[in-house]
Amino acid sequence: MGPIQPLNILLVEDNPADARLIESYLGRGIRGSVELRTCKRLDEALDLVRRQPPDAVLLDLGLPDSQGLETIDRLAARSDGLPVVVLTGRHDEQVALQAIRRGAQDYLSKGAFDAELLGRTIRYAVERSHAEKSIRASQKRYRTLLHRQTTINDLALALGTTADVGRIYRTLHTYVDDLLPADAFVISHFDRETRMIRPACVAMSSQEHDRVLPEIPFTADGADAQSLVIRTKQPLRIDDWDVAAVGAQENGRIVPAGRVEGLRLVISDEWRGSNRSALLAPMLCQGDILGALQLQCRKPNAYQEEDLSLLSGLANVAAIAIHNAQLVKESQIQAGRLRAAFDGIIETISAAAEIRDPYTAGHQKRVAHLATAIAETLGLDQNSVESVRIASLVHDLGKLGIPAEILTKPSRLTDTETEIIKTHTGAAYRILRSIDFPWPIAETVYQHHERLDGSGYPRGLRGDEVSLEARIIGVADVVEAMASHRPYRPALGLEAALEEVRANIGVGFDTSVGEACLALFEERGFDFDRNEERTRDDEDAVGLAASQSRGSNRLYRHVTTNTHSLQ
């Protein structure tokens, strides 16, 4: 058992006789030495407490400059948690209870205690005070640790919702700013190829800084702080740059108490005022170093070891989010390249289907333009809209197998030739079904001449048997074919095409699709030629649409007399 430490006692008593008696009691009632200071007024006591806080205070409640329980309040306000034992000549349990409620550790009535009781009371008061302080400190530390861990978890969740690097920086700054004091916040990225350390996000006094700090070279054997952290993959605490930056020509190494020998400060004059102490943590993901997270403070000794552990945890959470964002960006770039290649292939296939019939060049693109607009008007999701677009671009692919003399014949087709034309949907289906599209392209193309009333081909599907994508393309195909000029007949005109749609809504054409198509032209000013070149097309769609028109026999006769009728 170690030696008992001397107690520093402050006696606040204006009665000299009482003061001498208590002083004599203290010499006999407490084991070990006692350092006693006395004063007669509360203002003197408050000054002594400010200059050198005692271990305990023996306080009379009847002083020349303070009376009653207010005396305790004034003393407690100056030194929270200071052990106070109240001394008074009044033996009043109510006063005692109120004194303890206001922060006193105990209560003694003058003349009712001896040296032993006084010594025991002071010792217990000091021990209880120390225990209470320890409990409060533990509770505070527990709340701090809980808050920090909760914040790290919340940060991980917040960063997991975005792949935008800028938003990751801003979110990380917000969370760090809530946990640790910092006059400057810096995220630096390490570029392995250029061997440069690039400040990617900078904030001063909780505000993002618009000015860009210069890149600095990574030095594998150098001593600047960021290179040291990146090289060692270890966090670094700088208590005071003024004493830490010693022997700049030597390699930096971490030593106890947050001191760094051989450390060189690489920072502009503009930032020197923000940097007296600092924390630096490596941003690690799967063992790879992405860069460093750095906090700077104008005050020396602003950070503790537990702050370094906290920043390291935050840096690693951020590193995972940044790494994932980089992967997403790379995958988006790759997806863009694949998409461009895919679109190129589709365009090539589309062009191949039209090259054998120069009169229909661009037809599939124009149909795709209108069909996509109809799909968007109907509120289809982006995936479905894309399915419509791709299927439209290749809907006449099967015409590769149709003899050119039939495709370009300037007069009415024979029944045999009509049946040959009808085979193009099945031919396209057989070509496309072997391709693993993420959409039902082959089936959509196969159905694009089907009609809701069963009058279409090749299978005579009815109602819901015809997919929505095929219904959209079917309407767009008819409108484009009828509205376009052909060498073997003039364009029937957009009005005639729209009248054809109007006449067949709810019969051969889907009502919502037909109405969306009409709205595009009549309310939104849709124009085939807007960003599209004029195209040529075959007439199978025209003949089919005309044959389905009810109450439009004159139009039907005009079409079948001058075009490739499919009837």
And the tokens for 141? 């530390």
| Alpha carbon 217 to its chain's center | 30
- Report the length, in residues, of the chain: 567
Please write the tens of the pLDDT for every residue from 29-61: 676 678 889 999 999 999 999 898 898 999 998
Please write the tens of the pLDDT for every residue from 218-277: 887 655 788 889 988 999 988 887 666 554 333 334 333 344 444 444 444 444 455 778
pLDDT value at residue 260: 42
Which residues, listed in sequence order, are joined to residue 224 by a DSSP beta bridge? 264
And the tokens for 203? 């904030």
> What are the distances in angstroms from CA 16 to CA 107, 109, 174, 385?
20, 17, 60, 97
Per DSSP, the three-state class of 153 is: helix
Identify the architecture of domain 356-562 in CATH: Orthogonal Bundle (1.10)
- Alpha helix stretches (DSSP H) within 160-232: 165-179, 225-232
Amino acid at 29: G
pLDDT value at residue 475: 97
Pairing of strands 184-191, 207-208: unpaired
Please state, as a whole number, how many other Cβ atoms lie within 10 Å of the Cβ of residue 560: 19
Crossing angle of the two packed helices 363-377 and 468-483, in degrees rounded to 10? 130
In the chain, ranges of CATH 1.10.3210.10 domains: 356-562
pLDDT value at residue 462: 95
Identify the architecture of domain 7-130 in CATH: 3-Layer(aba) Sandwich (3.40)
Q: Which long-range contacts (CB under 8 A, 24 or more apart) does 125-130 make?
A: 125/56, 125/83, 125/84, 125/85, 126/7, 126/55, 126/56, 126/83, 128/83, 129/56, 129/81, 129/82, 129/83, 129/105
Cα–Cα distance, 177 to 207 (Å, whole number) = 10
Question: Please, what sign has the CA dihedral across residues 354, 355, 357, 359?
Answer: positive
Q: Residues in the chain with pLDDT < 50? A: 1, 247-272, 531, 533-567
Cα–Cα distance, 448 to 396 (Å, whole number) = 10
pLDDT value at residue 553: 30
Question: Please, what sign has the CA dihedral across residues 11, 15, 17, 18?
Answer: negative
Cα–Cα distance, 198 to 178 (Å, whole number) = 25
E strand or H helix that includes residue 193: none
Residue 472 near residue 371, CB atoms below 8 Å = yes
In the chain, ranges of CATH 3.40.50.2300 domains: 7-130
Pairing of strands 253-255, 259-261: antiparallel
Specify the DSSP class assigned to residue 412: P
**CATH tag, 180-317:** 3.30.450.40
